Structure 1
Amino acid sequence: MTIKDTELSRRTLVKGAAWSMPVIAVAAATPMAAASTTNASLAWTSTDSGLLGLELLDEGGVLTASAVVTVPDEYTITNGPGAITSETATVTIAVGVPSGVSVALGHLRSFGVASVDGIATTAAERSVTYAGPIGFPTTLWTGTRNVTIASDGTLAVPVEFGLVGESTSLVDLSLLSTFPVQLGVEFADGSSYLATSSISVLANAGIL
C-alpha cells in the first residue's frame, strides 16, 4: 500500500465516523406559570343554620338562639395559573347594621368574628362601634393569615361568628333581622378581593 492510499483511507474513515456520531436531542424547558396573587377570586361558600349556640366574645359564656340563625361559616379563595406559596394576607370581616329594624331603646348586640381558619381572634383585632345611644353597632375584625394554594387550586377557610357588644334595650326583636357581611382579602403586592354575604336572625331569637 502506498502513502497516498493510506492517507485516503484515513480521510474516508474520519468522514464515516463523523456521519455515524449519535444525535443528542436537547429539550427546551417549558417555563412554569409564575406565582401570582392577581389570578384569584373570593366567595363565601358555606353557611350554618339552626338554633345556634353563639359565644359572647366580650362578656364570656354562650347564648343559644330560640329561633333560627343563619351565618356564613366558610369562604373560599380560588386560584388561577401560578401557585400562591406562603403569602401573608390581611383579612377583614365587617358586619353592618340590619336595615328596616327600628330600636326604640338602648343598645343591642351584633355579630363578631370568633375564629378564622381555626385560629381564635383577639379583642385587639375586633372593634365594635355604636353610632349613638340606641341601636346596633357595626363590627370589624382585621387579622392576617398565611395563604398557600396550588396553581388552579382552591383554599377553603372556616369562619366562626360570635356575639359582641351589649344588650341594654330589654326588648326582644319581633322582626327578621338581616346583617350585611363583607369579607376582604388583601395580599402584600396590593391584590385585593371582596365577597359579601349576610347573617339572618329570625324574630324572638333571644340573642341580640
Structure 2
Amino acid sequence: MLKKDSVSTEVEPTLERRTIMKGAAWSIPVIALAVATPAAAASGDTDLGAYHLNGSCGTLGLLGPGFTLTAGPTEPLPIGTTVTITGSGIANIGVFSVTGGTANVNVLSNTSRQITLTSAVPAGATIAFRTTLSISVSFTLNAVTTLPSGFVGTGGKPAASVSSTLILCSAT
C-alpha cells in the first residue's frame, strides 16, 4: 500500500519515435505493392497480354491459307492453348500443317479442326497453321483461340477469319 505523500516509481510503457518510423518504413512498400497488383493477379489468373490470332490468305500455288498465332510481347502462350477452326462453303477444309512450333491437329469433322499447342510459343514468337485448300476455291474459315484454365489475355485478339471468293481473298 502506498502512502499519500510517497512518489510512485512505476514507468508507463511509451512508444519511441524510432519504433514508429521503422513500422511506417516497412508498411509503405507493402501498401505500394498491393495497389500496383493487377486485377488478373487478384483473380489468380496469369495475364498473357495482347496475343493475337490472324487470318492469312497465303500465296496462290505456294502457301495455303490459314492462321498465325502470335504470343504477346512479354508472356509465352502456354501448352494446351487451342485454336478451333471451322469452315463453310466447302465440303472439306483440307489438311492443316503447323510451322514455327509444335501442336496436335485433331480432325473434328470434314469442316472442323482443333489445334492444341504441345509446346509453349515464346513471347513475341509466331506459330502458323496452314491448310491445303487453294484460294482459287470459294470458302470461309473462322478460328477461335481458347486459353487453358488459369490464363487470360488482356487486349488479345482471340478470333480471326479467312474468306475466298474464287477471285479475292480477305483475312482478319
TM-score of the superposed pair, with normalisation by structure 2: 0.51
Higher strand share: 1
Distance 1:77 1:49 in 2: 21
- Conserved 8 A contact 2:67-2:130: no
More helix by share: 2
- Greater gyration radius: 1
Letter in 1 for 2:105: S
Residue 14 (structure 1) aligns with: none
Letter in 1 for 2:82: I
Report the TM-score, using the length of structure 1 for normalisation. Answer: 0.44
Q: What's the offset of the Cα at 1:98?
A: 1.6
Q: How many residues align?
A: 136
Match for residue 144 of structure 2? 181
User: Structure 2: where are the runs of 5+ without partners?
Assistant: 1-17, 168-172
Contact 1:91 1:184 in 2 (8 A): yes
Between the aligned partners of 1:46 and 1:108, the Cα distance in structure 2 is 18
Equivalent in the alignment of 1:129 = 107
SS in 1 for 2:79: strand
**In the TM superposition, what whole-angstrom CA distance separates every residue of 1:43-70 from its partner, at most 9, and x where no partner exists?**
54474756449xxxxxxxx9325xxx57
AA aligned opposite 1:127: V
Per the alignment, in what secondary structure is the counterpart of residue 182 of structure 1? strand
Q: Which runs of 4+ in 1 moved over 6 A?
A: none
Q: How big is each residue's C-alpha offset from its partner over 1:105-142, in whole Å with a ceiling of 9 and x where there is no partner?
A: xx441545423xxxx21xxx4033152xxx33413223
CA RMSD of aligned residues (A): 4.5
1:93 to 76, 82, 93: 82
Equivalents in 2 of 1:96, 1:48: separation in Å? 11
Q: Using the aligned pairs only, state the percent identity.
A: 10
Partner of 1:76: 72
Q: For the Cα contact (< 8 Å) 1:44–1:197, is it kept in 2?
A: no
